[in-house]
Chains A and B, each alone.
Chain A
Amino acid sequence: MTFTIANTLADVLVALAAGARPIAGGTDLVVGARQGKDSLPETLIAIDRVGELRTIEAADDHTRIGSGVTHSMLVSDPLIVEQFTAIADAAALVGSPATRNVGTIGGNVMNGSPAMDTGAPLVVLGAEAELSTTAGSRRVSLDELWVSPGRTSAQTDELCTALVLPNPPDGAGSAYVRLEYRRAMEIAVVGAAAAVTLDGDVITAVRIALTAVAPTILELADLSGLSGRAVDESFFAAVASAASEQAAPISDLRASDRYRRHTIGVMARRATEAAVRRAQGEVIDVPVNRALGVGAAS
């Protein structure tokens, strides 16, 4: 087994072309290996010191989040908190302070778990994954990237180098909330992200995605009927019932399918309510879960 610490992206891509596997924080890889899920790959290349992967860059029409950006960095970055607030909401809830220091958004995305907290926010904010090899880069939608639990469509020599998001228009707001049984060290039982754009009191765009209620992150379909509507109780009720109807949850030791189907509606509604309030200019601290007491918190 060989282990190399890379300092440049070019070194990483060459190593991947030669069959190495990338390791960022390594938490999932190390824990998985010890628990006998998968043994560690033969050749590892550590990418956590590649500066090019650890930046958040704003351009005129889009923002690029390097794949090596940790959850802690996301939560403390003013641009993410102000413009891509749902991502900050989610990043602030991941694991514990220690796992947030080590875990990266790229690692999360490439793990392809339907329970990942940052997944639904990325979807509703229209993120694409940038996959790179020595030959160049391509962008794929997250829908294309996530194939099934723990599996992505990326090739083994491709590194996720960034998540690229269109800059939200004026009047936009987003939020992520999740159901949690305790206030820390949790994994999402169900979660929901919402991104809305308002023109006055009228919804001009709305996207909602759900965590842990399907084999991959599930974006709600057929929401076009909700655009052009005023923000009112019937709008939120429609969001909640769409989420409960479209979810395809399973029963496991964390919750029954019945309970998940109900609570996903509650989470979708609360995420949308918070997103609307933010779109209206209200500042709700990150994460919404702790600011508003979702799940009786605070």
Chain B
Amino acid sequence: MTNTIELTVNGVPYPVSIATDRNLSGVLRNEIGLTGTKEGCDDCECGACMVLLDGQPVNACSYLAVQAQGREITTVEGLASGEDMHPLQRNILATGGVQCGFCTPGMLMSAHALLERSPDPTLEEIKIGLSGNLCRCTGYARILDAVEATAVEINS
């Protein structure tokens, strides 16, 4: 059955007509046209599809789109303020934490949620906060550097 619902993504309301069984990542990528949210598996095991629902990281691949009605959805496209990149985006580029980039959007969303919750995290907190996001390229070292640098930046 098709439901006509409204999803609020990065502050913008989108009316969409979708079947009940559609997952949120698919609707974001197709109906809404925001392909920054990636799909690397289909069972919460890679984290490439990570978005924020009311500020909390959620695997969009395994979340029904209809269930996101009435919640604030934030994707990687909503991280920058206009032309100004979010400090996490700037820092992950500066440290070399981006290689193929496929895990990057999900990684940034987890990192963003972590810093909102815990602006001055320990290294272990960062590791646990990002532990749902697999990266095959970087060995994670420079991603950790980027999150630490951002914490320093936002606390100064």
Contacts and interface: CB of A to CB of B under 8 A. Distances in A.
Let me know if chains A and B touch directly in the complex, using CB atoms closer than 8 Å.
yes
Interface of A: 1-3, 5, 23, 25-27, 30-31, 33-35, 40, 44, 46, 48-49, 72, 95-99, 101-102, 183-185, 290, 298
Contacts of B21: 1, 33, 40
B66 A3 contact: yes
Which of A2, A26, A96 counts the most B-chain CB atoms under 10 A from its CB? A96
A290 to B, nearest CB: 8
B62 A30 contact: yes
Contacts of A185: 45, 131-132, 134
B43 A1 contact: no
Interface stretch (B7-15, B52-60, B73-81, B82-90): B52-60
Given A98-B50, A98-B132, A101-B56, A23 B67 contact: yes
B20 A27 contact: no
Given A1-B21, A33-B21, A98 B110 contact: yes
25 contacts: A1-B1, A3-B20, A3-B64, A23-B67, A25-B63, A26-B62, A27-B59, A30-B64, A34-B42, A40-B20, A49-B70, A95-B44, A96-B59, A97-B113, A97-B129, A97-B131, A97-B132, A98-B44, A98-B57, A98-B58, A99-B44, A99-B132, A183-B131, A184-B132, A185-B134
Contacts of A34: 23, 42-43
B69 interface: yes
A184 B131 contact: yes
Contacts of B129: 97
A214 to B, nearest CB: 25
Given A33-B21, A96-B44, A184-B131, A101 B58 contact: yes
Contacts of B58: 98, 101-102
A35 B43 contact: yes
Nearest to A34: B42
Nearest to A96: B132
B67 A26 contact: yes
A262 B133 CA distance: 32
Q: Is the interface of B mostly helix, strand, loop or mixed?
A: mixed
Contacts of B69: 5
Q: Chain A at the B interface: mostly helix, strand, loop or mixed?
A: mixed
Nearest to B56: A101
Nearest to B133: A96
A3 B57 CA distance: 23
B137 interface: no
Interface string B112-148: 0110000000001001110111100000000000000
Nearest to A4: B66
B63 A26 contact: yes
A176 to B, nearest CB: 17
A46 B65 CA distance: 12
Contacts of A96: 44, 47, 59, 131-133
A79 B21 CA distance: 37
Given A31-B42, A33-B21, A5 B131 contact: no
A88 to B, nearest CB: 14
Contacts of B62: 26-27, 30-31
A49 B67 CA distance: 10
A5 B70 contact: yes
B44 A97 contact: no
Contacts of A44: 20
Most-contacted residue by chain A among B42, B57, B134 (CB, 10 A): B57
B19 interface: yes
B146 to A, nearest CB: 18
A97 B57 contact: yes
Lowest 4 CB-CB distances: which A-B pairs, in order? A96-B132, A184-B131, A1-B20, A101-B56
A250 B110 CA distance: 36
B3 interface: yes
A51 to B, nearest CB: 14
Nearest to B50: A98
A277 B23 CA distance: 45
